[in-house]
Amino acid sequence: MKLRLGMIGGGQGAFIGAVHRIAARMDDEYELVCGAFSSDAEKAKASGLLLGLSPDRVYTSYQELIEKEKQLPEDKRVQVISIVTPNHLHFAPAKQALENGFHVILDKPMTFSLAEAKELEKVVKISGKRFCLTHTYTGYPMVKEARQLVKDGKLGKIRKVYVEYPQGWLSTFLEGEDNKQASWRTDPTKSGIAGAMGDIGTHAFNLAEYVSGLQVTKICADINTVVEGRKLDDDGAALLKFNNGASGVLIASQIAAGDENNIKVRVYGEKGGLEWQQDNANTLLLKWLDKPAEILRTGAGYLSSYASKNTRVPAGHPEGYLEAFANLYRNFALSIKADIEGKPAEKEWLDYPGIEDGLRGMAFVENVITSGKSDAKWTDFKI
């Protein structure tokens, strides 16, 4: 049984929409049956035609999609709606979809503001529907392995967390060159109060909390807008305090000329540390206080069930960004199917980012910008 999937946004020329569709197709857990790919009617229809959809299920607004799909027989209507629009168009379609009985997959950051995130949290709880936020990097097998090693106490009490996300693609005033991706990501009316910290800083923040199993309680940030004429931050760093007393450092920059997307996390405990980076995603490095370092590899038999159940091919065959994205889609689908069958979902399936991750991500955005504007050394992390 395939889940019937609909998509809001992600029409012709959209980068992330295609990524979501590839992720959804990879394990054959979904069938794309409808979409509202653009507010431009002609572009929406053309996108649907290219994707092979029935013309009567290609809509020109998310409102039309939700209203008309709800009128279809239960065995025909869409079941899961994937929302891949810019930040300012996340909350309203997600809210309406949930309130009308559809499960939701939403691109990050979750909403335009923390106030919207709080409201969406209420909607998710009332709806009883499942909600997935696509923090892609949590889908990598070796990131899941890192989390389990920390959770199992292999490193001892965690003392230090470093996470960094350097990009260089916004090193010039790209938004002035009619670049669609740069234009909306640097526009405060579409992106929100943060640029780099909202776009990639939220990924770094989520990865730090996911792997360490800790939560940030205090923050001390330095936020910069380096490129002349830019309206939002394109560079920044933050000192972090965690709820067990550990400290950390978070760096997110989109003006790191020459860098691509090598997000990296290091976690250190009393007994040793671990290190993972996207440029070498199949490898997890363990460094010990009293013995030689170890290299763990994707696909090996010694890994946890969380890593092995998110691996598709034998050891030595690289798996990357698309597969990690697909792991989120697959785990979400398997959890929904378990609900439909009246069975408990396996614990590994439930390991996908949800509403709490989204809420804390939006709290990070508001707290890091507030801290960056403050003269105080430390500010409390507030939700």
Q: What is the pLDDT along the chain (383 residues), one digit of tens a residue?
A: 899 999 999 998 788 999 999 999 999 999 999 999 998 889 989 999 999 999 999 999 999 999 999 999 999 999 999 999 999 999 999 999 999 999 999 999 999 999 999 999 999 999 999 999 999 999 999 999 999 999 999 999 999 999 999 999 999 999 999 898 999 999 999 999 999 999 999 999 999 999 999 999 999 999 999 999 999 999 999 999 999 999 999 999 999 999 999 999 999 999 999 999 999 999 999 999 999 999 999 999 999 999 999 999 999 999 999 999 999 999 999 999 999 999 999 999 999 999 999 999 999 999 999 999 999 999 999 99
Instruction: In whole angstroms, give the CA distance from residue 158 to residue 371.
Output: 25
CB atoms under 10 Å from CB of 153, counted, come to 12
From the centroid of its chain, how far is CA 97?
A: 19
Sign of the Cα torsion 235, 191, 200, 21 reads negative
The pLDDT of residue 67: 97
Which is nearest to 351 in space by CA: 373, 334, 375? 334
Rounded CA-CA distance 359/119 in Å is: 10
Q: Find how far residue 256's CA is from the centre of its chain.
A: 22
Q: Which CATH architecture has domain 3-129?
A: 3-Layer(aba) Sandwich (3.40)
Contact 41, 13 (CB under 8 A): no
Residue ranges matching CATH 3.40.50.720 in the chain? 3-129
pLDDT in the model for residue 15: 84
pTM: 0.95
User: Rounded CA gap, 299 and 163, in Å?
Assistant: 25
CA distance 361 to 105: 16
The two tokens of residue 359 are 């809420």
Q: Quick one: fold of 140-313+359-380? A: Dihydrodipicolinate Reductase; domain 2 (3.30.360)
Pairing state of beta strands 272-277 and 247-253? unpaired
Stretch(es) of the chain classified as CATH 3.30.360.10: 140-313+359-380
pLDDT of residue 13: 79
